[in-house]
């Protein structure tokens, strides 16, 4: 699929999402940017997209609320005329020592259920247009079968659910819609990362650096443009899984 002239709905558009959105906009793809709390980032991204000549709208929706999800998909199609690409980037990453059921529900709803709901509401719109692409975000740990870090059980399980969802939807929505996932590794350093922590990440990554948001954007573009890859989860981790 050529993204030019298409419409992409992106959830969780801060940081890496902004880079992905700009990469699509520069290729002529209109954007529907869904936010819950990061309105300023979404508006900034929309403004940049309009600056390169494409339509962009900003919609507020709680990705864990099905009524709001359905409304966001409907409004996207109504305002932009179609929906071809869904990128489920909305996610939370929370350390949970001694997790309880609330931690489990929060992680599953925010990371997995949200992707499921956006996908099932977007799919009929995509099918009516003849084709579509759904791209989810998992995690390099899950793609590698390595929990690796203690106190992240709900997060890990929710991202494992995203990978399973990707495979299941790829089968159910074929041949009209291709469904894939990206499993990022060290892409952007957290703002509160210490120099010692940074050194550990670099040492553990064979390519010895943080990838940067552009690497995720490149993977997104590949999964949009391919015509014969579906049900895959692609690691973008600088070889971290090898160390």
Return phi, psi of residue 182, to 5°. -115, 135
Beta carbons within 10 angstroms of residue 53's beta carbon: 9
Q: CA neighbours within 13 Å on the CB side: how many for 122?
A: 33
Q: Which of 171, 181, 159 is closest to 235 using CA atoms?
A: 181
- Classify each residue of 96-113 as buried b or exposed e, where b means 16 or more C-beta atoms within 10 Å of its C-beta: beebeeebeebbbbbbbb
The contacts of residue 38 (CB under 8 Å, 6+ apart) are: 13, 14
DSSP letters of 134-171? EEEE--HHHHHT---STT-HHHHHHHHHHHHHHHHHHH
Residue 47, both tokens: 């403004």
Q: Which of 231, 63, 91 is closest to 159 using CA atoms?
A: 91
Residues with catalytic roles: 155
């Amino acid at each position: 699929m050529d993204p030019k002239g298409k419409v992409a709905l992106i959830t969780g558009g801060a940081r890496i999402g902004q880079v992905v959105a700009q990469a699509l906009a520069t290729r002529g793809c209109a954007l529907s940017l869904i936010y819950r709390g990061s309105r300023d980032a979404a508006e900034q991204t929309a403004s940049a997209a309009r600056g390169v000549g494409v339509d962009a709208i900003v919609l507020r929706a709680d990705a864990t609320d099905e009524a709001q999800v359905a409304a966001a998909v409907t409004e996207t199609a109504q305002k932009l005329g179609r929906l071809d690409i869904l990128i489920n980037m909305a996610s939370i990453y929370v350390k949970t020592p001694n997790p309880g059921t609330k931690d489990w529900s929060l992680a599953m709803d925010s990371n997995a259920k949200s992707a499921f709901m956006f996908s099932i509401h977007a799919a009929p719109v995509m099918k009516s247009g003849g084709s579509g692409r759904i791209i989810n975000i998992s995690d390099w740990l899950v793609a590698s079968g390595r929990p690796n870090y203690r106190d992240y059980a709900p997060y890990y399980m929710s991202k494992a659910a995203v990978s399973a969802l990707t495979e299941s939807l790829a089968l159910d929505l074929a041949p009209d819609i291709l469904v894939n996932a990206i499993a990022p590794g060290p892409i952007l350093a957290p703002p509160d990362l210490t120099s010692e922590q940074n050194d550990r990440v670099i040492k553990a990554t064979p390519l010895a650096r943080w990838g940067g948001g552009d690497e995720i954007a490149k993977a997104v573009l590949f999964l949009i443009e391919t015509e014969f890859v579906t049900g895959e989860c692609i690691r973008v981790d600088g070889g971290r899984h090898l160390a």
